[in-house]
A and B are shown apart, each in its own frame.
Chain A
Amino acid sequence: MKVVMLFEINLLALSAATLRMATPIAFAGLGGLMSERVGVMNIALEGMMMMGTLCSAYVSYVTGNPWIALIATALVGAILGGFHAVLCIRYRGSQIVSGFGINIFTFGFTPFVSSIVWGSRGTSERVAGLPFLPTLGMRETLIIDEILGSQSPLLILLVITVVLLHVVLYKTSLGLRIRAIGANPKAALSSGLNIKKYQYICIIISGIFASLGGAFLVLSVAYHYSTGMTAGRGFIGLVAMILGKWKPVNVLGASILLGFGDALQISLQGSEIPVQLIQTIPYLLTIFVLIGVVGKIVPPTGYKPHAED
């Protein structure tokens, strides 16, 4: 009886952790989706996320208000997204090279700022975080409380975003235009659409989403900045996007699957298995998922590294 109880509690904790760790991956995945829907690959999600962790930690540290930190982070994400868009669209740069430029810049910039602000290139001081979601507190909702009570308000924002994106993409003429740009830029252009305007807006939104994923890690999980804390979640978000077939609701589902790898990794820490091996779980899961599904999936666009007008 006792064993069963323990197992149940672990299962509950694992589900809660899965939902928690799926959130940043889903934000990154939606960021990738926004960008690729208009034909631009965004490999810079990881860098944008890292800037999100730094910015949210810094602003929360200075102001003590996590909500202001959230808004500032979204702004920084928008700027980075805009930068990527300018390089890829205005100057027709290589999307992968531009993305990696942003990533490598942030690999250097985030510990650099951390060392100046907090005197350590590794981690920051503790900063104010977001509150947990309120619980219902009823007997019948004990399980729901257990899972939701440890979640961030950003989860609500994520769900709203997913629903909104789904509605906009599939039920409005705006969504039709965006999908047309992704599916066939030339046809969209010849129909008189101002492609570049939509591309800029969507890639800026992509940057906002990715940076919010970073803010989540700081304001709702760790309550401090630490260098490398995104640990490839931006890249894993890209796999969530592929697995979710570039559809918002499916991307959320895929993120939960990939978030499970992360949650499992966290819950196994402290066991007898060496920590380095445990930490490989999310990456191996991602690779296997990618290999398992990818051949059957067609991206929304035949995007080229050098976008042509």
Chain B
Amino acid sequence: MRSIRQSVQVNRLSKLLFAGVPPSLAVITALIVTAFILYLIGKNPWEIYHVMLFASFSDIYSLGTTLTQATPIIFTGLGFVIAFRAGLFNVGLEGQLYLGAFAAAYVGFALPFLPPILHLIVAIFTGALVGGLWAFLAIIPKVKTGAHEVITGLMLTYVAILLTSYLVNYPFKASGWAPYSPFIAENAQLPRILPPTQLSFGWVLAIIFASLTYVLLNHTTLGYEITIVGLNKEAAMSAGISINRTVLLAFTLSGCMSGMGGAVEVLGVHRRFIDLFSPGYGWDGIAVGLLGGLSPLGAIFAAILLGALRAGGSSVQRITGLTLDIVTIIQGIIILFLAAPMLYKHIMRKLSESSYVV
């Protein structure tokens, strides 16, 4: 009996370890390819990676910066995962993030009479709601006419970025030169939990919502329906699941997550809406969702990794003058690697073949 249980546990452990193989390979490949690019332009990749690592994990301050960067990415990553489970690609995360952020900022500065905790809750949920609404606009054409959600999501992202830019440049511009909204009221600010870093209570919320998403997807009827619709539409139909309803719900929820990510970023870090504030947290969500193996808890780890790259990238920018774009390059290569499961199976096979020869 005992040995069976042990072997089951070993099996589980090895399964868990194996789940980590493709993402690790993807990250290593991306770092190697990027190192090669850096080498080509005459930089020392080793030095740059050293700066990056040092600036993201070496002390409490750098760790706080890493987690601050990871916070919105966890939310957008969760958004990507929820939609992907239903067989949908939410690539409009960036737009949903922007609108959620603006909505939260608006509640933050326009309703200063709200009492402390309530103000914060209203702001966060308005952000989530508006993000969800924007996602809903992207998915309703799919249900009604069959338009692909990738195209509507992308077009609406461009519209969202321009729209929030208009709002903060014209009607809601604070006095002064830069396109900022007024500061949000103190009642709506997420408390900072690790001063002097900008890490806010938003980090805790991100972990809570990742756990909630895990429960939603794996232990509720809705999560079950989402998974079935994503895996097999015919089976879902014969099981009496309304595909349209599930698709709408999953995609809207996905947008809610992204919108909440924007809200948390504004309420915890910037404390006002800044034009074009996002360095691409929405796009990061795609990488994080895939890198985390499409699991909400995996998304946390993947987001910390990307957050570290962003935190480290900022230091590299200060020290060597190389722009943060290098982080986006690494991310693109990671996604490309994860796009083709056959590719790393091929690599693994080659590796195991060569070890047999030895």
B-binding residues in A (CB < 8 A): 43, 87-88, 90-94, 96-98, 100-109, 111-112, 115-116, 121, 231-232, 235-236, 238-239, 274, 276-277, 279-280, 283-284, 286-287, 290-291, 294-295
Contacts and interface: CB of A to CB of B under 8 A. Distances in A.
B332 A232 contact: no
A107 B151 contact: no
Interface stretch (B118-126, B140-148, B197-205, B244-252): B140-148
Given A87-B340, A276-B169, A109 B329 contact: yes
Interface of B: 41, 89, 91, 141, 144-147, 150-152, 154-156, 158-159, 162-163, 165-166, 169-170, 280, 283, 286-287, 290, 322-323, 325-343, 346
B323 A121 contact: yes
Contact of A43 (B150, B280, B290): B150
Residue of B283, B328, B330 with highest tally of chain A CB at under 10 A: B328
B166 A232 contact: no
Nearest to A117: B41
Contacts of B283: 104, 107
A294 to B, nearest CB: 4
B198 to A, nearest CB: 24
Contact of A93 (B89, B147, B339): B339
Contacts of B335: 97, 100-101, 104-105
A284 B159 contact: yes
Nearest to A227: B325
Contacts of A294: 141, 145-147
Contacts, number: 147
A245 B196 CA distance: 57
Q: What does DSSP make chain B's interface, helix, strand, loop or mixed?
A: helix
B145 A277 contact: no
A146 B332 CA distance: 44
Contact of A291 (B41, B147, B163, B333): B147
Nearest to B167: A276
The 10 closest A-B pairs by CB, nearest first: A105-B332, A108-B328, A93-B340, A101-B336, A91-B340, A101-B335, A295-B145, A276-B166, A108-B329, A98-B339
A231 B333 contact: no
Given A87-B336, A106-B332, A284-B155, 18 more contacts: A87-B340, A94-B340, A97-B335, A101-B338, A104-B287, A107-B280, A108-B326, A108-B329, A109-B332, A112-B329, A115-B323, A276-B163, A280-B162, A283-B156, A283-B162, A286-B151, A291-B145, A294-B145
B339 A94 contact: yes
Contacts of B169: 274, 276
Contacts of B290: 97
A237 B212 CA distance: 39
Contacts of B91: 100
Contact of A87 (B159, B328, B330, B343): B343
A96 B147 contact: no
A232 B147 contact: no
Contact of A92 (B89, B152, B156, B340): B340
Contact of B325 (A90, A97, A108): A108
A102 B151 contact: no
Contacts of A235: 151, 154-155
B329 A105 contact: yes
B328 A107 contact: yes
Contacts of A283: 155-156, 158-159, 162
Contact of B155 (A98, A102, A103, A287): A287
B303 to A, nearest CB: 16
Nearest to A290: B147
13 contacts: A87-B340, A93-B343, A98-B340, A104-B335, A107-B283, A115-B323, A235-B151, A239-B151, A276-B165, A284-B159, A287-B141, A291-B144, A291-B145
Contacts of B286: 100, 104
Contacts of B89: 96
A206 B285 CA distance: 28
A231 B326 CA distance: 21
Nearest to B326: A112
A286 B148 CA distance: 13
A15 B338 CA distance: 45
